[in-house]
């Protein structure tokens, strides 16, 4: 009888430990998400293209995708100009503040980037160096419309191709 009680208590104890470990795992994941929803600052150490940078924060390299915009690919029309404009807005070794929104499927942090208190995401669209990425946000749609009307940047082209279409065409051409 005593063995049954001890066995029952042991089973209950194991179940309690399992429940606690699940709870602490959930809490830990939520605290990571809370960190992602905050602002962080760091030094700009690389500009990949018109919508991706690397930031050094607490001695960690963080790859950042600019939220709500889609800039031309490096090998696409206006790709180099878009990258240069972003470099002018966020020079290497300058300080940047991130308003973190999410993480993308490639593990990059998706954020609004502020350099010299300027929202560079908005500036890229406003100056015609990126599309408003409507699939994820409408925050910059009005800036894209204005840039189109004023024929700024890539909107000087007769038929600019969205980066998402450009990427699809590259994949299709490689298959053929």
What is 39-175's CATH number, 3.40.50.2300, 2.40.50.90, 1.20.1250.20, 3.40.50.1100?
2.40.50.90
pLDDT value of residue 170: 78
pLDDT digits (tens, 9 = 90+) for 112-162: 999 999 999 999 999 999 999 999 999 999 999 999 999 999 999 999 999
pLDDT digits (tens, 9 = 90+) for 59-116: 999 999 999 999 999 999 999 999 999 999 999 999 999 999 999 999 999 999 999 9
Active site residues: 65, 73, 108
Position 3 pLDDT exceeds 70: no
Question: Read out DSSP for the chain?
Answer: -HHHHHHHHHHHHHHHHHHHHHHHHHHHHHHHHHHHTSEEEEEEEEEEETTEEEEEETTEEEEEEETTEEPPPTTSTTHHHHHHHHHHHS-TT-EEEEEEEEE-TTSPEEEEEEETTEEHHHHHHHTTSSEE-TTT--TTHHHHHHHHHTT-GGGGSSS---HHHHHHHHHHHHH-
Segments making up each domain of the chain, as ranges:
1-36, 39-175
């Amino acid at each position: 009888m005593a063995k049954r009680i001890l066995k029952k208590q042991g089973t209950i104890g194991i179940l309690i430990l399992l429940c606690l470990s699940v709870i602490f795992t959930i809490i830990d994941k939520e605290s990571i998400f809370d960190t992602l929803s905050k602002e962080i600052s760091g030094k700009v150490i690389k500009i990949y293209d018109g919508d991706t940078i690397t930031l050094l924060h607490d001695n960690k390299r963080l790859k950042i995708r600019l939220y709500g915009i889609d800039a031309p690919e490096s090998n696409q029309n206006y790709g180099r100009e878009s990258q240069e404009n972003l470099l002018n807005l966020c020079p290497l070794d300058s300080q940047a503040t991130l308003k973190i929104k999410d993480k993308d499927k490639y593990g990059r942090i998706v954020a609004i980037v502020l350099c010299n208190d300027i929202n560079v995401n908005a500036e890229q669209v406003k100056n015609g160096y990126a599309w408003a990425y409507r699939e994820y946000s409408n925050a910059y749609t009005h800036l894209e419309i204005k840039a189109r009307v004023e024929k700024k940047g890539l909107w000087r082209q007769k038929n600019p191709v969205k980066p998402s279409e450009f990427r699809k065409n590259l994949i299709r051409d490689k298959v053929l």
